[in-house]
Structures are given as C-alpha cells and as structure tokens.
Amino acid sequence: MEFISISEAIKKGKGSVKLRGWVYRERGSNKLKFIVLRDSSDIIQAVIDKDKVGKKEWDDAVKLLIESSVEIEGDLAKDIRAPTGYEVKVKKLKVVHFAEKYPITKDQSTEFLLDKRHLWLRSRKLSSVMKIRSTVMESFRDYFQKKNFFELSPPIFTPNACEGGATLFEVKYFRDKVYLTQSWQLYAEAAIFALEKIYTISPCFRAEKSKTTRHLSEFWMAEMEAAWYGLDDLMKDAEGVIAYIVEQVLKKNKKELDLLGRDISKLKKIKTPFVRVTYKEALDILRKKGVKIKFGKDLRTIEEDKLVESYDRPLIVTNYPKEIMAFYNPKDPKDKKTARCFDVLAPESYGELVGGSERDINFDELKKALEKEGENPKNYSWYFDTRKYGSVPHGGFGLGVERLVSWICGLSSIKDAIAFPRTMLRKTP
C-alpha cells in the first residue's frame, strides 16, 4: 500500500489507509492509546488497541510523546467525536523517531514561542499562515505573468540607497562596503529598457528602529515596474493584484482562514475599484474627525488608522507632498507641491500595503532631490544613464508581502507573517 496524506484519507472516508507524520496529541489507558496524527495537510485521530497489535508495537505506542514521527496502517472509520471526524483503527505501527519531551506546551509567552520558532512553525496557526503566504506569492506571479510581464531577479548587494540612507544595512564586501537592498527599484528602472514590463518578489532589508507590529528589518517585497506606465495604470494594477490575490486565497485557503478564525465576510468585500483620495483630501477627512495635521507631514500610524476606519476596502492615497518623498518621485505639474505617487492603505488598521509612483525623468530635478537627501549624485551615475539613452515615462510599485499576509490572515503582529522574523530585537533562531 502507498502512503497517502491525511487530507486524502479524510476525502477517501473509508477503507484501509497508510499514513505518516507526527504525533500532535496523545493520551492513553492501559488498553488503548489515542494519538492525533499531523502531517502538512491535516490532522486525524488514530487509536491503538493493545489486543490488536503486536507486543513491540504496543510497548512503543505507550512510549510515544508529542512530535514523535510515526508510520501507521489501519482502517478508517467515521467518528464524530474525533477532531476531524474520522478515526484510524491501527493495525501496524512503526515509530520512526521517539521525540524527547516537547518544550512547547499550552499558554506560553509570545517571546518563548519566538525563541522556539523552529518548532512553533509546526503549529496549525503558523502552518496555515505559511500556506496562505504561498498562495499570495503564487497569485502575485500569476497576475503579472498573465499580463505578459517578465520576472527579473535584482541584486541584493547594492552600492546605493534607494529609500534614503537612514535605514541602510551596511555589509563588509571584501575590502570595501556595500548595502543590503531596500528595494529593487533602481535596477528595475534600468531593466524596463530591455523588457518593458517586469516584476519580482525578493527580500528587502531596512534597519527600522521602530518596534511596531508592522515593521520587519528583513521583509519580502513584490514589485512591478513598467515602461510607458502612468499613475493611473499603476493604481489599476495595484488594486487589481490585491483583489486577485484575496480572491485566490478565498478560493484555495478557506480551511486555513477558518483555522485562523478570520472573518471571511470582510475579505469577500475586497473588489475593485478602491476609493481614491489625494493627500490633501485625506487631511480634510482627518480634520473632520478631529485629527489636526499640517500639509507636509507624513501620515503616521494613528492617522492612517483613523483615515481607513470608514472604508471596507483598501484606500488609495495619491499626491503626497513632494518634499517628504524619495528622490525619484516626480512633481505633479498640476500641483507642484505634490508628487505623482500613491500608497494603498489596508482596511482594519493594517497600514500601508503598497507604495508606488511615476519616476522622475528630469535629470536636474533628480540631482537636486538626491543632494537634498544628503547623497552624492556621483554615486548614481549608472542610474542617470537610464535618463540619457532613450528615456521614457515609466513607473512602478512595491507591495509588502508580510503586510498583505498579516491583513489577509488577520494577524496581530507582522512577525507571524514570515517563517523566521527579523526585527531590531530579534535575529534568532
């Protein structure tokens, strides 16, 4: 007999089955031993009866602790008392490895679980999140592949800052130094001259000194960049890809969303078009809610949260003040104090999901903005070549993968949206 997965066994519903996995729970008497078996697909109850297995098998069964790995063969029967509605009456048991006493028990602190992340990853909560994350990655790729974009992999070691010097990680590079990438953007801007429409999903690094539930120092960004694209095209793809990803997760991960206790009715409302407001309109909305904020200040967490509370879909905010935006953001000719840029803010207080913009193609403006950021334009001479040889209007955006996963899963911290989180205070395991 071939091994099948637990979910295949549950689908099968009756007959003999051969399964393998890990002991998720165990209890027993001097005649019966109950285990709940776990594999990557689901859990199922199995019962070992002293009178129905050999002496060695029974002796082994008695010694089984949580997370021991086993192979079982037996007959499947419906049992409404069992956690997933079925039970395997075990005929053969093979212990692959006897686990030591598992350190994770009920009611442990968040910090302890983070210390034991390599084990806690096996929990039903985290494995559900990781399955949803996998759908998120797959669907992002799928959306852009269907639109004839090419996937391009950017370098991770970079000589320049893309999003300002304050959050750069410096790395020793032979006898020199480089930085870990903050965004693929500058390289993407070079590559659109060859491929026109491109995307990537790649790691990004920022030395964020904030200890929030929204910031990681190593995170993954799903980014796109396209030649001939304007602000409107960019916003259409940003809302399009978010709505598509949510739709795919609802289709493929219903079980995981249920396990996480996510209110699915909230996700079902995520349809395009999203509401669009300018930064100035956002300030007016905030003022009406009693939050006073001056033009020229970036929206902080409290303001973003206040702003999104009346919307059940993500909110797009355009035209942030030029002076607070990264150097590559162009001035809006219709409103010169603002930039041709946008953010997508998640509902339910999950913060900024996407940041994007048209890219400045005016050489002098770029130089001036870089100098204002304290950068030496000389270090960007390779980037300026993109404005010298057949410059075209273009733009792109970056979607924070963990921000999106956090919101879709309804997590209370972004740390649970990635397998091994890295923050200012955590770099292990």
Euclidean distance between CA atoms 215 and 223, whole angstroms: 18
Per-residue interface string for the shown chain with Mg ion, residues 176-215, x marking contact by CB under 5 A: ----------------------------------------
If DSSP codes are grouped into helix, strand and coil, which group holds residue 398?
strand
Per-residue interface string for the shown chain with ligand 4AD, residues 210-249, x marking contact by CB under 6 A: -----xx--x-x-x--------------------------
Instruction: Verify cis geometry, omega within 30 degrees of 0, for the bond prior to 429.
Output: yes
Give the distance from CA 175 to its chain's centroid.
Answer: 35
If DSSP codes are grouped into helix, strand and coil, which group holds residue 16?
strand
Which amino acid is present at 237? Answer: D
Euclidean distance between CA atoms 197 and 147, whole angstroms: 9
| Cβ nearer to ligand 4AD, comparing 41 with 185 | 185
| Cβ nearer to Mg ion, comparing 154 with 355 | 355
Give the distance from CA 6 to its chain's centroid.
Answer: 27
Specify the residue for token string 């079982």.
Answer: 72
Q: Which stretch binds ligand 4AD (CB under 6 A): 99-107, 281-289, 301-309, 399-407?
A: 399-407
Number of residues that bind ligand 4AD (CB under 6 A): 22
CA atoms within 13 A on the CB side of 83: 17
Q: Which does 131 bind (CB under 5 to 8 A by kind): ligand 4AD, Mg ion, none?
A: none
- Beta carbon of residue 355, minimum distance to Mg ion (angstroms, whole number): 3
43-49 vs 86-97, strand pairing mode: parallel
Per-residue interface string for the shown chain with Mg ion, residues 303-342, x marking contact by CB under 5 A: ----------------------------------------
If DSSP codes are grouped into helix, strand and coil, which group holds residue 77?
strand
315-318 vs 197-205, strand pairing mode: unpaired
Q: Contact between 355 and Mg ion (CB under 5 A)?
A: yes
Which amino acid is present at 335? Answer: D
| Cβ nearer to Mg ion, comparing 151 with 298 | 298
Of 47, 316, 353, 408, the residue at the interface with ligand 4AD (CB under 6 A) is 353
What residues line the site for Mg ion (CB under 5 A)?
355
Binding stretches for ligand 4AD (CB under 6 A): 162-163, 183, 185, 206, 208, 215-216, 219, 221, 223, 352-356, 396-398, 400, 402-403
